[in-house]
Amino acid sequence: MTRVLVQRLAIIGAGLIGSSVARAAREKHLAASVVVADADPEVCERVRELGFADVVSQSAAFAAEGADVVIVCVPVGASGAVAEEVGPVLKHGAILSDVGSVKGSVLDAMALHVPAHAHLIPAHPVAGTEFSGPDAGFASLFENRWCIVTPPEEAHEAAVEKLCALWQGMGANVEVMSAQHHDLVLAITSHVPHLIAYNIVGTAAHLEETLTSEVIKFSAGGFRDFTRIASSDPTMWRDVFLSNREAVLEMLGRFTEDLTALQRAIRYGDGQALFEHFTRTRAIRRSIIEQGQETAAPDFGRLAAGKPKHEQS
Amino acid sequence: MTRVLVQRLAIIGAGLIGSSVARAAREKHLAASVVVADADPEVCERVRELGFADVVSQSAAFAAEGADVVIVCVPVGASGAVAEEVGPVLKHGAILSDVGSVKGSVLDAMALHVPAHAHLIPAHPVAGTEFSGPDAGFASLFENRWCIVTPPEEAHEAAVEKLCALWQGMGANVEVMSAQHHDLVLAITSHVPHLIAYNIVGTAAHLEETLTSEVIKFSAGGFRDFTRIASSDPTMWRDVFLSNREAVLEMLGRFTEDLTALQRAIRYGDGQALFEHFTRTRAIRRSIIEQGQETAAPDFGRLAAGKPKHEQS
């Protein structure tokens, strides 16, 4: 049985994640009232048509005023500006959170603007698809996905528990860790994989035109799903790389060193080194399957819990 | 209506691809008799149990003798040795083909052993899964997949047509090109993607133990499907990289140059360069969708046409 956890839930930004939070909160009756704000009037209009919010506004401050929980669902580069806008209207005991893929820089950017009587508790649901906008969201996006909550050291315990309960109510499994540790783990599990996917698709795009068209034609040999990742929202990912620069550069450095060693093995025909490397990586795969982190339908962690309407067939 | 195209079809090597060819040929009645050879007695025993061959033998020469079409389905590094074994027994007008992911080196390694009265016509079905062995194959693996046929310049036209018809009979779309061109296209669409997937999984495996376990736990953010690719058969992929060295090193060089440029943009905070790169790659994705090379269930080109039994749920 779910229960109303929040009287007024404000969601700032009605993209894939924001609109999924709104849908999940309504479907699971987690909030008495769901208020959605988006700076783009066309998005607001579409949210009204889709009908997943009780109140729709272009003003983040209007949405946040009187809210028990405010979840900022904008690209991480914009979260500081949103915090600046909503900070002054946050009520006593309000929770201000976000959904960004980077946590250290977001915490820094938002903390300045949060009054002492409110609680800043950043979070990151590890879920998404390569689609964007209010039409792309769906209520089951977070089911059985991890949501990582990164409270600052001095965080109010009851507020952390309330935010965790909200994400659990949306079906997520919650893990609490420091923002810094989050950023390191996500650099290798998500940020660098996205960067190399963007990169190889870019490399293919630079080939002579005839070859590029054949690359598209014969993309099923492995390349294709890199293009899926590499069609994710450019603004969001630009901000991720700029905001998690240190950890991404650290992991990218290791990746490049390792790739250079494989390249060298290929150049000098060292079959034994290649074979050993390719055998070791199987163990990681086995662990993922053992821990139930794999689904029968491989999907880059995107759609296992449900599909956006336009992908259903 | 399908018709019997081949009297005696010999398949050398009963792994994922070989066992799928045998199953497809039987299910679609493409061959009057399907003979399967595998050097491993345990594999032969399993093939008998699975029942997708009319005759099973440990001897490639026995299987190839009297066959109209012999398809070598072994890792590309072993195809020369198999050609040496079957060459002397090939009957007049027999077609000798293979399924390797590299064509230039395979052509070189096999051609030496093919008598003048037989026809060597290499081919490469761009299909597979990360599973190996006779249990992993299934009859629909090639449906709606490309099969690239790479006849040598002096190839016998009717023989090329017969091989193409056989693959079309298994449901594949056939494209004819030179071995050299094939190797360049596959280097970027398949070989380099596999190498970087193997590489990032290896990088994660080198992290300190605690971090590695968290990487596994939070692998849904993009990393997970790289591990799927990186659990493909190590022997097959070692041979691919050793056999297609020039093209792989060429494409890997371009990949690394491009990655270095992205890394530099991250280091110096060049958001505009990142945004432009991430926007360009979306166009490639659109082309793939437009050309019907994408399926609703992203699967790295592996399972769209069917699933091996142990993956069905």
Answer whether A278 sits within 8 Å of B186, measured CB to CB.
no
For residue range B219-231, list pLDDT tens digits in order.
Answer: 887 888 788 888 8
Whether domain A181-311 has CATH 3.40.190.10: the reply is no
Residues of chain A with C-beta less than 8 angstroms from the C-beta of B207: 188
H or E element, residue A5: none
Domains of chain B by residue range: 6-177, 182-311
pLDDT at B294: 62
Rounded to whole angstroms, the Cα distance separating B224 from A164 reads 25
pLDDT tens-digit map of B51-70:
999 999 999 999 999 999 99
Per-residue pLDDT, B293: 67
Decide if B275 and A222 are in contact by the 8 Å CB cutoff: no
Report residue B251's pLDDT band, with 50, 70 and 90 as the boundaries. Answer: very high
What does the pLDDT look like over A127-146, one tens digit per residue?
888 889 999 999 999 999 99
Picking from A101, A141, A285 by the largest number of B CB atoms within 10 A of its own CB, the best residue to mutate is A285
- Look at residue A211 in the predicted model and tell me its pLDDT: 86
Q: So what's the pLDDT on residue A311?
A: 34
ipTM of the complex: 0.85
* Cβ-Cβ contacts under 8 Å, B219 against chain A: 189, 288, 293, 301
Subunit contact A193:B288, Cβ cutoff 8 A? no
Token pair in block for residue A96: 């201000």
- Residue B15: pLDDT over 60: yes
C-alpha distances in Å from residue B100, one per residue of A115, A153, B57: 64, 56, 22
Identify the closest residue of chain A to B251 by CA–CA distance: A203
> From the first residue on, what is the mean pLDDT of each consecutive set of 10 residues in chain A (313 residues)?
84 98 97 98 98 98 98 96 98 98 95 97 92 95 96 95 98 96 95 94 87 86 84 92 96 96 97 94 82 52 36 32
% of chain B with per-residue pLDDT over 70: 92
The domain A6-178: what is its CATH number?
A: 3.40.50.720
Q: Which residues of B touch A187 (CB under 8 A)?
A: none
Which of B255, B283, B287 is closest, CB to CB, to A199? B255
The pLDDT value recorded for residue A275 is 96
Tell me the whole-structure pTM to 2 decimals: 0.84
CATH of domain B6-177: 3.40.50.720
Q: Is B189 on the interface with A (CB under 8 A)?
A: yes
Residues 6+ apart with CB under 8 A from A79: A72, A98, A100, A106, A109, A110
Q: How far is B309 from chain A (nearest CA, A)?
A: 12
Cβ-proximal residues to A81 (8 Å cutoff; 6+ apart), any chain:
none
User: Do A130 and A229 form a contact (C-beta atoms < 8 A)?
Assistant: yes
- CA–CA distance from A198 to each of A27, A43, A306, B158 (Å)? 35, 27, 25, 43
- Hey, what are B284's tokens? 């490639």
Closest-CA residue to A152 (of A105, A120, A106, A117):
A120
B185, B200, B283 ranked by CB distance to A196: nearest: B200
Which pLDDT score is estimated for A304?
35
Say whether B238 and A278 touch across the interface (CB within 8 A): yes
Tell me the CATH number for domain B182-311: 1.10.3660.10
State residue B289's pLDDT score: 78
